[in-house]
Amino acid sequence: MTSPSAPPPQPPPHSSSPFTPAFSPPPPPPSSHMPSTSSSAPPSPSTSSFSWNSLLRFLAFSPTPKPLNLSLFLFMLLHSSPPPDSRSFSFILKAYAHLFSFRLGSQNHSYILKLGFSSDTFIANSLMHFYITFGLLQLARMLFDDMPNRTQVSWNVMIDGYSITGDYNTTLYVLREMQLQFFMPDVYTVQSLLSASGGLGALSIGIWAHAFLIKRLDSRARIDIMVNNSLVDLYARCGSLSMARQVFEGMPERDVASWNTMILRLASHGRIKECFFAFNVMVKEDNLRPNSITLVALLSACNHGGLVKEGLQYFHLFTDQFGIEARLEHFGCLVNLLARAGLVDEAIDCVQRMPCKPDAVIWRSLLDACWKRRTQVEISESVAFKALESDAEEGDSGVYVLLSKVYASANRWNEVGLVRKLMAEEGIKKEPGCSSLEINGIVHEFVAGDTSHPKSEEIYKKLEEVEKRISVVGYEIDPMEAPLIAGRDEVKRDCLRLHSERLAMAFGLMNMSFGTPMRILKNLRVCGDCHNVTKLISVVYDVEIILRDRLRFHYFKDGSCSCMDYW
């Protein structure tokens, strides 16, 4: 399940992978002839590799693995006869990944090279998985590229690596590479694909993955609860709430994560009343105890609906009645809720009284509200300073952009220039806007001002046509949306004109058949001018546009948006 502050449900572990033991229950307790983890007597030198491996497996996957025990046994194993085999290292690597101990785990890579195991496919798969656990995808990729013999598992590990790190385009690219090498996707490949399709908002790829799962599982087994949760998440993230509901309602059983996913996604689609209804069913009919993520989901719903009273009620209900300890993410939601509803003083008060240290996200949401509510420039400045202070290492361009908007709306153009200069001096660049849409299974991506698309010339011609047609119904560009662009209003206009979602919409209008909703995914929040343009396009071209930006879904139809201009 996903939200700005909660991770999406991950597909279930790859039970056919060499990493199966990590997710399996630990083996039975040691019998009398097996040494315990705490007082381990060394086995005799003639111990077979099978016994060694059983012992390693036991140590590695005990609920509380001990790094010292693992190192000790690895040491003894290296000096034993017979020597360790590929399985021994696989267990050890898995254990260190489980312990999140990079230093100890990576030492095994040298043993592996020393013992001449580097070309062993089983070990290479384990090493790839180990490095991916620590986010070192490039190292895993180097191992993958060097493998003389790849197996289905090798491809799955790599595909899953790209998927869990959010590199969804590469996930799809590697999948195609895999098929070209005559490997067929299996259930585990498809689970990674579900996550990638949801991330990309690529509905038809998601549908294909779902169909594949049903076909492969046939009547032998039910799709398990975690996969169903992933499917609900996938469809909702792709903008198809009806399909998400269909999966959700067809689930033979649901857990708290299922309900949390549904409530969060309903919230991001602006279905606030349905969120509250779902919560009641979850508690009263399914008798499930909500958790801290449920509170995030409900506060997120209140936030999208601007419902301060309800938000505060849920906050107290969860902390007082359900015994949920309010954490940073809950206070973040609360501050955002108050600030966006115009209660900036109350939001600042909440930040000052919260028991945990506010992070940059909280300060930034406060600054955003200050800009929207045209709060005193001095207050906005101090909030911006706090945001930069909390995020000193990241050099967050978002704070600079917001601050420049604060100054621009107060007509303080000298300060806007100073912000621009400061950004240049600090080497801080505005994150480029990027929008994508999927047509016939191919995801087309556009960055602002992009000319790299093969149909770029036609796209720009279409954009001109769009602008002419929406001008007739009263469109006027708002240069205030681009305060950081140096120069006169014409220059700002030229910049806004080429925002990524407009390129994506022009391409969609050129290629999609009448009556098909256009689904666009944007990495940043849609700006006010593009929001206005999209509303007008929906009425002039009689097209339904579903835009998922960084915050939520916007459904544009007949000249209005489902967010009611509150986003």
C-alpha triplet 432, 437, 438: angle, nearest 5°: 145
Q: Which of residues 418-457 bind Zn ion (CB under 5 A)?
A: none
Could you say whether residue 124 binds Zn ion (CB under 5 A)?
A: no
> How many chain residues bind Zn ion (CB under 5 A)?
6
Q: Tell the smallest beta-carbon distance from residue 563 to Zn ion (Å).
A: 3
Q: Which is nearer to Zn ion, 281 or 564 (CB)?
A: 564
> Does residue 143 interact with Zn ion by CB under 5 A?
no
Which segment (95-103, 261-269, 275-283, 494-502) binds Zn ion by CB under 5 A?
494-502
* Stretch of residues binding Zn ion (CB under 5 A), selected from 27-35, 245-253, 448-456, 554-562: 554-562
| 401 near Zn ion, judged by CB under 5 A | no
Nearer to Zn ion, 141 or 552 (CB): 552
CA distance 492 to 472: 21
Q: Is 299:318 a contact under the CB 8 Å cutoff?
A: no
Q: In terms of CB distance, is 351 or 459 closer to Zn ion?
A: 459
* Contact between 186 and 16 (Cβ < 8 Å): yes
Tell me the window of 157-165, 274-282, 353-361, 548-556 that interacts with Zn ion (CB under 5 A): 548-556
Q: Is 55 left (phi over 0), alpha (psi -120 to 50) or beta?
A: alpha
Nearer to Zn ion, 133 or 532 (CB): 532
When asked if residue 269 is in the footprint of Zn ion (CB under 5 A), the reply is no
Helix (H, G, I), strand (E, B) or coil at 493: helix
- Does position 548 interact with Zn ion (CB under 5 A)? The reply is no
- Please state, in angstroms and rounded to a whole number, the distance separating the CA atoms of residues 239 and 11: 20
Residue 29 zone, left/alpha/beta (φ > 0; ψ -120 to 50; rest): beta
Per CB under 5 A, 340 contacts Zn ion = no
Cβ nearer to Zn ion, comparing 193 with 275: 275
Residue 382 vs residues 363, 406, 428: alpha-carbon distances, Å: 10, 12, 20
DSSP assignment letter at 318: I
Rounded to a whole number of angstroms, the minimum distance from the CB of residue 534 to Zn ion is 8
Given candidates 530, 537, 545, 546, which one binds Zn ion under the rule CB under 5 A? 530
DSSP letter, residue 481? G
Query: Counting contacts by CB under 5 A, is residue 499 touching Zn ion?
Result: yes
Q: Are strands 560-561 and 518-522 parallel, antiparallel or unpaired?
A: unpaired
Q: How far apart are CA 228 and CA 244, in angstroms?
A: 10
Residue 521: strand pairing partners: 436, 548
Nearer to Zn ion, 249 or 490 (CB): 490
Piece in contact with Zn ion (CB under 5 A), picked from 92-100, 149-157, 513-521, 546-554: 546-554
Task: Determine the length of the chain.
Answer: 567
> How far from chain centre, in Å, is Cα 336?
20
Rule CB under 5 A: say whether 552 interacts with Zn ion: no
* Residues making contact with Zn ion (CB under 5 A): 499, 527, 530, 554, 561, 563
